[in-house]
Amino acid sequence: MNLIHFLTGRVTKDAFAKRMVQAFKDRGYQTVLYDSQQFSIDLGDQESGGVMFLAHFYADYCQAPRLRRRPIPGELVDMRIKGLAEEGSTAPNLERLLPVIRDLSYAWFCAAQIAATLKDVQHHTSDLQIGDGHRVSLVLDSPTQTQQVTDQVLTSLNICFEDGLIQAVKNLRDISPDKWRTIGPGAYVGAWDDTFDCSRILLTDVIYRLELPANPVALIPARGVLLVTSSGSVEGQMAILQAAKEVIEKNSRWTSASMLELKDGTWQTYAPSAPAVLQLQSELFTRIQFCRYDQQKPLLERQLSAQGKDIFVASYFAYEKNKTIFSVATWSDGVEAWLPKTDYLMFVKPGAGDTNDIVNVTWDVALSFLSPWMIEVPEVLPVRFHVDEFPDAEMLEALRAHQTVMGE
């Protein structure tokens, strides 16, 4: 650890992984291999534990007070070992099925990460999409962990995904008495305080019993956090968004800034109209997307390198100005790239010496002029756009006429 890290309390990923590896070795594991690119630990074959991805554990570790960090790697390893013992001694059964809610981008990342790490393992997982950005999948619950239910596990249970989801929702209802805490006028947070609070949006009867004056609106900013208010209450929507802002400052397992509206018993994506609500939601969205694109970038870089493709995976930049948070991506002349979708797009054409010709426009303006040259990359979430041919001088001048000051 260098002096800066010592003074600030920062721990690098590699340093954290080293502590995790040592904790496994202290408990008798002989083969423990660290993959810095995947940020994972391989414990050998599947019977001895398989692969353990470290991103969320690392984020939790960094958020813990410095004086309380020392035992954390050992506690995490002990929890993993207990979970493996439970898996080995307890066969999957229908009574352990429970539903979980994740956002589509995170689900894509996990699937891509597993595919890259466990190339010879069949790991297909069925799910059900809710609204534009959420998905429901199944897990097997135990006292120490939740284990993802693959289609192979469902086959062993002699049940299809649809029937498995019905059983999982039934199991969830059995452990879900009405438990809400008021956080503002007509605004509530689930108070079950377990890992399945988010999943209780599937219990629409529980939601309706809040007796809101208009359609219920739900927000799931992070795992284990369910916020609910009314589609007719701007004050309530501000309350749940403010609560979500506080949550994501403490909880590394972010989910989504998108809100869902319960209409006639079905959840649909909710588009608020109040300017204050839109601004706060946009801030949350930018912060979460920054995290998602930051996770996605190295994974895509490895995929493209393995395929022998010289394509630049552009960064998603987030800035704050006048108490407004916004996102920016850069499209540079002569660079084939995959661009993240951002609030603003910066066109950079190198000039003589160190000078650059720079044009800033909103994403919507750029897309309206250049949609034939901005091709959505298939099967990648969050979405990226493939660009190759830089706008010519005439097009650049047309864009310049719509140039804007970012963040205003």
Same domain, 300 and 276: no
Asked if residue 249 and residue 299 are part of one domain, the reply reads: no
The predicted pLDDT at position 1 comes to 41
Domain enclosing residue 352, as ranges:
295-400
* Domain-ending residue, one of 227, 258, 283: 283
Residues 315 and 393 in one domain: yes
**Token pair 């135990």: residue:** 142
* 77 belongs to a structural domain: yes
Alpha helices in 72-180 (DSSP H): 72-89, 104-117, 151-156, 161-174
Tell me how crowded residue 108 is: count the other CB atoms within 10 A of its CB: 19
* Closest alpha carbon to 218 in 247, 187, 192, 175: 187
As for how many domains the chain has, the answer is: 3
User: Are 385 and 299 members of one domain?
Assistant: yes
Position 329 in a domain:
yes
pLDDT tens over the chain, length 408 residues: 443 343 335 789 899 989 999 999 998 888 888 888 888 888 875 444 578 888 878 888 888 888 888 999 888 888 888 877 766 656 788 999 999 999 998 888 888 877 777 665 566 888 999 988 899 999 998 877 788 898 989 999 999 999 999 999 999 999 999 999 999 999 999 999 888 999 999 999 999 999 999 999 999 999 889 999 999 999 999 999 999 999 988 877 888 999 999 999 999 999 999 999 999 999 999 999 998 999 899 999 999 999 999 999 999 999 988 888 999 999 999 999 999 999 999 999 987 556 778 999 999 999 999 999 999 999 999 999 999 999 999 999 999 999 998 877
Q: Is residue 107 part of a domain?
A: no
Q: Are residues 12 and 33 in the same domain?
A: yes
Same domain, 279 and 183: yes
Report if residue 170 sits inside a domain. no
Look up residue 262 and give its two tokens. 């319960």
363, part of any domain: yes
Q: How far apart are CA 35 and CA 51, in angstroms?
A: 10
Neighbours of 40 (CB within 10 A): 19
Query: CA–CA separation, 213 vs 94, rounded Å?
Result: 37
Rounded CA separation 161/169 (Å): 12
pTM given for the model: 0.84
Same domain? 278 vs 322 = no
168, 98 contact by CB (below 8 A): yes
Rounded Cα–Cα distance for residues 253 and 250 (Å) = 9
Tell me whether residue 129 is in a domain: no
What is the Cα–Cα distance from 104 to 110, expressed in whole angstroms? 10
Choose one of 89, 104, 134: the last residue of a domain.
Answer: 89
Same domain? 78 vs 9: yes
Pair 272, 353 in one domain: no
Shared-domain flag, residues 31 and 85: yes
Q: Is residue 76 part of a domain?
A: yes
Q: Quick one: tokens of 404?
A: 């804007």
Tell me: do 279 and 301 sit in the same domain.
Answer: no
pLDDT at 119: 62
The β-bridge relationship of strands 324-332 and 344-350 is parallel
* 266-303 CB burial, b ≥16 within 10 A, e <16: ebeebebeeeebeebbbbbbbbbbbbbbebbbebbeeb
Beta bridge partners of 317: 328
Same domain for 277 and 309: no
Report yes or no on 143 lying in a domain.
no
